[in-house]
Amino acid sequence: IMMRKCHLNTCPVGVATQDPVLRKRFKGTPEHVINFFFYVAEEVRALLAEMGYTHLDQIIGDTELLEKR
């Protein structure tokens, strides 16, 4: 689910909230969340390396990397 509400503490699946009622909805474990973000970071690092970069801040503002759909 992609609600784009994590910063509001109202995550409907309980991943990004401190509300005990909402947290009960999350069926995973903290390790699942840790692993997810670890693999997202690994994928980002691989994509950056393919483009010849080593840090995300190297591509911030580089609009030439954007593709129009």
* Position 11 in a domain: yes
Q: Which of 38, 19, 36, 15 is nearest to 27 (CA)?
A: 15
- Count how many domains the chain has: 1
Average pLDDT by stretches of 10, the chain with 69 residues:
75 77 83 91 96 95 92
- In the chain, where does DSSP find H-type helix? 20-23, 30-51
* Position 39 in a domain: yes
Domain span at 33: 6-65
* Position 38 in a domain: yes
Q: Which pLDDT does position 3 carry in this prediction? A: 75
* Position 1 in a domain: no
Q: Which pLDDT does position 1 carry in this prediction? A: 66
